[in-house]
Chain A
Amino acid sequence: MTRQYETVIGLEVHIELATRTKIFCGCSTAFGGAPNTHVCPVCAGMPGSLPVLNRQVVEYAMAVGLATDCRISRLCRFDRKNYFYPDNPQNYQISQLYLPICRSGHIDIETPEGIKSIGIHEIHMEEDAGKLTHDDWAGETNVDFNRSGVPLIEVVSEPDMRSADEVIAYLEKLRLIAQYLGASDCKLQEGSMRADVNLSVRPLGSDSLGTRTEMKNLNSFKAITRAVENERARQIEILESGGTVVQETRRWDDNKERSYPMRSKEDAKDYRYFPEPDLPPVEISGEWIEKVKKKQPELRDEKKKRYESQYGLPSYDADILTSDKRLADLFEETLEYCKNPKKVSNWLMVETIRLAREHGIGIDQVDFSPENLGKLITLQETGRINGTVAKEIFAVIFTDDVDPEKYVEEHGLAAVTDEAALRDAVRQAVEANPQSVADYLAGKKKAMGFLVGQTMRSMGGKADPALVNRLVGEALAQKAAAYSSFCR
């Protein structure tokens, strides 16, 4: 490579909103369901049907706009995007082109060079399409309109990103904002968040933009990273070999780790946009904006600061706990049952994340009652169970959400706190291991740990470790006293 290149990236992110019903009818947005069971004349594009706007969609779009410092349009309007495809029952999509609901915002991301502001060109509302499934056996394509009319917002960034890392940081931030607002669960794999990457390269220091391509079918952050790097390299290679980049839409194949052209600018569709005549313009009053602002929940940055100041958590803990809305919710809900923030934080940061990884699920899929974790911590704090047992029980809470109090009782896991019984066990351990006692007396303090372990084992792991420690210490102290008097 003779020249140095700069990558210029802009994103178009579709986010599925978490409304109960669709954007233009009362049908359920629930995932799954037998094909064409969540449909009505409106979302199936029947003749004579008419759309009616779901106000919650407007509020979620406004909420995301406010959280990203956008200007909310006081008058916004829907437009029809006309194209023929069988997953689109009306053969037009109701979207926004001329007057989108939000404009001119930004999202600040952290980069090695410091805070960087990524501009948001606009956010608009639109409806999702249905789903086509191809039946190779029957040689048929079937269409399911359950997804048709599910509300989406499209967040269009400015071409302000320069690397895959910045793209991921921007997406993470956007995902957290939408999740914190309750506007979306933003699952890339399930398609509730989809990003199209517009990328071009230019010689470092150049002011003008190069020819860009649009990359589709990016289903994970990893795929996005790979696609960005791959496309950058592909474009540079073309330029270096004297060619020109073709403006086109490309499809990423993550298995083959390369992209394929879908359509070029020449055969780009003419969508013949025009104002949707079935929906009056949406007037957004200052009052309405204020109402949404008031309902705006605490976002990540504020929450993180509060965790440090209110609960005295280390910055490291606060960062991890707020990295996912689900984790933060679990933290706050568990605190209602257990007043030790650092303990709760430890269980979530260490054990919960470890188990989620072990089970191959995302944090957002973690599903146990905060009450059970709270009880578990209390059980341990009051010495009714020891740490080892607590970890065992937590693994069961994680999978089956059991009540730890009942579980301890049913499985006889309560710590043995009967001092006489423990003293007996300690005595037996000391007598059975004279060598360890000798080692201890000779100065090998580690030998005490062995004796504690032996005692614990004889108690089936249920002994209160603090108590065992004390008793073994006492027993050894006695031996030491006897030994020294013997020596004297």
Chain B
Amino acid sequence: MKEILRWPAAELAQKINRREIKAKEAVSAYLEQLYALEPELNSFVTVDEEGAYAQAGRIDELTQSGKNAGPLAGVPVAVKDNLCTRGLRTTCASRMLEDFVPFYEAGAVERLRAAGAIILGKTNMDEFAMGSTSETSAFGPVKNPWDISRVPGGSSGGSCCAVAAAQSLCALGSDTGGSIRQPASYCGVVGLKPTYGTVSRWGLVAYASSLDQIGPIARNVEDCALLLEVISGGDKRDSTCLDRRDVDFGRAFARTSASPQTSPQTSSQASLQACPEDVRGLRIGIVRDYFDEGLDGEVAAAVRRAAQQLRDQGALVEEVDLSLVSYAIPAYYTIACAEASSNLARFDGVKYGYRAGAEKGLHPMYRRTRTEGFGTEVKRRIVLGSFVLSSGYYEAYYEKALRVKAMIVAAFDKAFSRFDLLLGPVAPTTAPLLGQTGDDPLKMYLGDIYTVSVNLAGLPAISLPCGLDSRGLPIGVQLVGPRFGEKTILQAARAYEKACGGFALSPMTERAEKKGGMKV
């Protein structure tokens, strides 16, 4: 792999800002890698070569005139294809939006561009973010770069795959029930789902509005923090977006990595700024309920080793019962599908997107458009969601799910009165083989058991690589924080990463170089 592809985001941006290399060189190196691996991985729906070079040109012009082009100057980012990009088609990996080109831009993408980042393209995903394998895409499944006979996870499978294969330096995903964390764990990268309301949802094609949150995917914790800082912050166009003032996630690292020092300050924020690697005294609860029969033994062992590692570094690690675990999946699928059934109603063939031709009459047109435009999993969730909201069932399902949600919030509150962070697995297993999950949706839904309650409670959580199983597939460990606890999460994550000596990219990245960057 080329040297330029190895630099972390902050370093690359610094070199570009200092005119040591050009943004165009970074773009061309990444595009070369992207194209070389794309035939095997299928991680992108659309590659925006022209747009990437144009933005790189603007960055280079800025730096040539002596200006700082931003904290992500020239940093290539892959954007999940459910985030609207002005002038660049946004498909949600659905036939329904195959030719949809938005004339407006997602808030998170605007912030990326303003920070100097370069959008390489739009990544493949489960159709409308509904799925856990990135196989429900209308544009074919994404492959896992660690083993291309396996899935990368989902729904942000394309974004996580692209980062793991160094097709992009970092990426944006969206997480409604684990859609960033689970593929990050399957692909061996760092993925963070922020506190609900941290990143604007303006321009994110909604799956389940009350649970959706955009988050960063990166190779290491520092890049993840830097990206998170850039995309976070208030947006008047999203009424659920909070005007958080504590979003200096990246800067905290930058300051301290230059001059590490110990400080007597006690608050977690202050200690993060003082020494991001320090977990001494941090109270971490291992969620005992997550280590039941459903969890693969190798995954359980790796996650316990990660906990032990943090204990060795001075964290106070204890077991905790979260309870309600078995209720999280039904509550999640009830709420998420209910909202989805309404959110996806707008795709009707009238205004934009796919329309079934040659139908006379409104209702036949609606019916055929939606029958042909949506895939099976999307239709299943629309039907499920319409059912739980229908008259006579609303109280039994939707309202009950909302009560469960409130109880889950309370259970987390209780746990966070004793602990700074909770630790557990991300997914019950490592990446399954392609084509093994779709036939049994219930089994697929149960795979989200460790991630969905975090969305129901609106909490921040990160997925970190914590080793490989006997087949050489990455395993992820999840750290969950209280509301607005991103800094504590990043602090512990950084400490763990340092102790591990960093996280490895997929072996495929090295193979690509041997191939000599074949262009497609």
Selecting from B20-28, B320-328, B346-354, B440-448, the interface stretch reads B346-354
* Inter-subunit contact B237/A46 (CB<8 Å): no
* Inter-subunit contact B350/A143 (CB<8 Å): yes
Q: Which of A45, A53, A272, A278 contacts B346 (CB 8 A)?
A: A45
B200 (CB) vs chain A CBs: closest residue: A50
* Inter-subunit contact B104/A41 (CB<8 Å): yes
A44 (CB) vs chain B CBs: closest residue: B351
* Inter-subunit contact A277/B345 (CB<8 Å): no
A45 (CB) vs chain B CBs: closest residue: B346
* Inter-subunit contact A48/B239 (CB<8 Å): no
With a cutoff of 8 Å between Cβ atoms, the chain B residues found around residue A280 in the complex are 239-240
Q: A48-B204, A50-B237 are in contact. Are A89 and B106 (CB under 8 A)?
A: no
* Inter-subunit contact A84/B100 (CB<8 Å): no
Q: Tell me, rounded to whole Å, the shortest Cβ–Cβ distance linking B137 to chain A.
A: 17
Q: Tell me, rounded to whole Å, the shortest Cβ–Cβ distance linking A97 to chain B.
A: 11
With a cutoff of 8 Å between Cβ atoms, the chain A residues found around residue B204 in the complex are 48
Per the bound structure, the CA–CA distance linking A143 and B103 in Å amounts to 20
A143 (CB) vs chain B CBs: closest residue: B350
Per the bound structure, the CA–CA distance linking A279 and B238 in Å amounts to 8
> Quick check: is A51 within 8 A (CB to CB) of the other chain?
yes
With a cutoff of 8 Å between Cβ atoms, the chain B residues found around residue A46 in the complex are 102, 104, 351-352
Scan A274-298; emit 1 where CB is below 8 A from any B CB, else 0: 1001111000000000000000000
With a cutoff of 8 Å between Cβ atoms, the chain A residues found around residue B237 in the complex are 50, 52
B350 (CB) vs chain A CBs: closest residue: A86
Scan A410-432; emit 1 where CB is below 8 A from any B CB, else 0: 00000000000000000000000
With a cutoff of 8 Å between Cβ atoms, the chain A residues found around residue B205 in the complex are 47-48
* Inter-subunit contact A47/B362 (CB<8 Å): no
With a cutoff of 8 Å between Cβ atoms, the chain A residues found around residue B208 in the complex are 277
Per the bound structure, the CA–CA distance linking A137 and B390 in Å amounts to 40
With a cutoff of 8 Å between Cβ atoms, the chain B residues found around residue A90 in the complex are 345-346
* Inter-subunit contact A50/B201 (CB<8 Å): yes
> Quick check: is B127 within 8 A (CB to CB) of the other chain?
no
Scan A19-49; emit 1 where CB is below 8 A from any B CB, else 0: 0000000000000000000000100111111
Q: A50-B201, A52-B237 are in contact. Are A82 and B104 (CB under 8 A)?
A: no
Q: Tell me, rounded to whole Å, the shortest Cβ–Cβ distance linking B344 to chain A.
A: 9
* Inter-subunit contact B345/A84 (CB<8 Å): yes
Q: Tell me, rounded to whole Å, the shortest Cβ–Cβ distance linking B188 to chain A.
A: 30
Q: Which of B100, B346, B386 contacts A89 (CB 8 A)?
A: B346
* Inter-subunit contact A274/B389 (CB<8 Å): yes
Interface-centre pick from B202, B236, B341, B345 (highest chain A CB count, 10 A): B345
Interface-centre pick from A49, A82, A279 (highest chain B CB count, 10 A): A49
A41 (CB) vs chain B CBs: closest residue: B104
B402 (CB) vs chain A CBs: closest residue: A275
* Inter-subunit contact A274/B238 (CB<8 Å): no
* Inter-subunit contact A278/B348 (CB<8 Å): no
> Quick check: is B210 within 8 A (CB to CB) of the other chain?
yes
Q: Tell me, rounded to whole Å, the shortest Cβ–Cβ distance linking B237 to chain A.
A: 6
Scan B334-346; emit 1 where CB is below 8 A from any A CB, else 0: 0000110110011
* Inter-subunit contact B346/A50 (CB<8 Å): no
* Inter-subunit contact B391/A48 (CB<8 Å): no
Per the bound structure, the CA–CA distance linking A90 and B205 in Å amounts to 13
With a cutoff of 8 Å between Cβ atoms, the chain B residues found around residue A84 in the complex are 345, 348, 366
Query: Binding site of B, secondary structure by majority: helix, strand, loop or mixed?
Result: loop
Chain B 111-148 residues near chain A, CB threshold 8 A: none
With a cutoff of 8 Å between Cβ atoms, the chain B residues found around residue A469 in the complex are none
Per the bound structure, the CA–CA distance linking A29 and B208 in Å amounts to 30
* Inter-subunit contact B239/A52 (CB<8 Å): yes
Per the bound structure, the CA–CA distance linking A52 and B237 in Å amounts to 6
* Inter-subunit contact B346/A80 (CB<8 Å): no
> Quick check: is B84 within 8 A (CB to CB) of the other chain?
yes
With a cutoff of 8 Å between Cβ atoms, the chain A residues found around residue B202 in the complex are 48-50
Chain B 73-113 residues near chain A, CB threshold 8 A: 83-84, 90, 92, 97, 100, 102-104, 106
> Quick check: is B503 within 8 A (CB to CB) of the other chain?
no
* Inter-subunit contact A277/B346 (CB<8 Å): no
Chain B 205-249 residues near chain A, CB threshold 8 A: 205-206, 208-210, 236-240
> Quick check: is B276 within 8 A (CB to CB) of the other chain?
no
Per the bound structure, the CA–CA distance linking A91 and B386 in Å amounts to 13
Per the bound structure, the CA–CA distance linking A272 and B366 in Å amounts to 19
* Inter-subunit contact A48/B209 (CB<8 Å): no
Q: Tell me, rounded to whole Å, the shortest Cβ–Cβ distance linking A339 to chain B.
A: 49
Per the bound structure, the CA–CA distance linking A84 and B370 in Å amounts to 12
* Inter-subunit contact A82/B342 (CB<8 Å): yes
> Quick check: is B394 within 8 A (CB to CB) of the other chain?
yes
A86 (CB) vs chain B CBs: closest residue: B350
* Inter-subunit contact A274/B398 (CB<8 Å): yes
Scan A246-280; emit 1 where CB is below 8 A from any B CB, else 0: 00000000000000000000000010111001111
With a cutoff of 8 Å between Cβ atoms, the chain A residues found around residue B362 in the complex are 86
Q: Tell me, rounded to whole Å, the shortest Cβ–Cβ distance linking B106 to chain A.
A: 6
With a cutoff of 8 Å between Cβ atoms, the chain B residues found around residue A80 in the complex are 342
Per the bound structure, the CA–CA distance linking A50 and B394 in Å amounts to 25
A82 (CB) vs chain B CBs: closest residue: B342
Interface-centre pick from B100, B104, B208 (highest chain A CB count, 10 A): B104
Interface-centre pick from A47, A86, A91, A279 (highest chain B CB count, 10 A): A47
Per the bound structure, the CA–CA distance linking A165 and B206 in Å amounts to 49
B128 (CB) vs chain A CBs: closest residue: A47
> Quick check: is A347 within 8 A (CB to CB) of the other chain?
no
Per the bound structure, the CA–CA distance linking A274 and B398 in Å amounts to 9
* Inter-subunit contact A278/B239 (CB<8 Å): yes
Per the bound structure, the CA–CA distance linking A45 and B343 in Å amounts to 10
Q: Which of B100, B236, B341 contacts A47 (CB 8 A)?
A: B100
Q: Tell me, rounded to whole Å, the shortest Cβ–Cβ distance linking A55 to chain B.
A: 12
A25 (CB) vs chain B CBs: closest residue: B237
Interface-centre pick from A52, A272, A273 (highest chain B CB count, 10 A): A272
* Inter-subunit contact A47/B346 (CB<8 Å): yes
> Quick check: is B467 within 8 A (CB to CB) of the other chain?
no
* Inter-subunit contact A89/B206 (CB<8 Å): no
Per the bound structure, the CA–CA distance linking A266 and B362 in Å amounts to 21
> Quick check: is B424 within 8 A (CB to CB) of the other chain?
no
Per the bound structure, the CA–CA distance linking A49 and B341 in Å amounts to 16
> Quick check: is B203 within 8 A (CB to CB) of the other chain?
yes
Q: Which of B206, B342, B389, B398 contacts A48 (CB 8 A)?
A: B206
* Inter-subunit contact B106/A53 (CB<8 Å): no
A87 (CB) vs chain B CBs: closest residue: B350
With a cutoff of 8 Å between Cβ atoms, the chain A residues found around residue B350 in the complex are 86, 89, 143
With a cutoff of 8 Å between Cβ atoms, the chain A residues found around residue B389 in the complex are 82, 272-274
Q: Which of B84, B342, B345, B347 contacts A274 (CB 8 A)?
A: B342
Q: A47-B84, A86-B362, A278-B209 are in contact. Are A272 and B342 (CB under 8 A)?
A: yes
Can you list 23 A-B pairs with a CB-CB distance of less than 8 A? A41-B102, A47-B102, A47-B205, A47-B346, A48-B83, A48-B202, A48-B206, A49-B202, A50-B240, A52-B238, A82-B341, A82-B342, A82-B345, A84-B366, A86-B348, A89-B351, A91-B345, A91-B346, A143-B351, A272-B391, A272-B394, A274-B339, A278-B238
Q: Apart from A47-B347, A52-B239, A272-B386, what 18 extra A-B contacts exist at CB < 8 Å?
A: A41-B103, A47-B97, A47-B102, A47-B346, A48-B84, A49-B104, A50-B239, A50-B240, A52-B237, A86-B348, A89-B350, A89-B351, A143-B351, A274-B342, A274-B394, A278-B209, A278-B238, A279-B239
**A-binding residues in B (CB < 8 A):** 83-84, 90, 92, 97, 100, 102-104, 106, 201-206, 208-210, 236-240, 338-339, 341-342, 345-348, 350-352, 362, 366, 386, 389-391, 394, 398
Considering the complex of A and B, which 9 residue pairs feature the smallest CB-CB distances, nearest first?
A: A91-B345, A272-B389, A277-B209, A277-B210, A48-B203, A47-B205, A48-B84, A45-B346, A270-B391
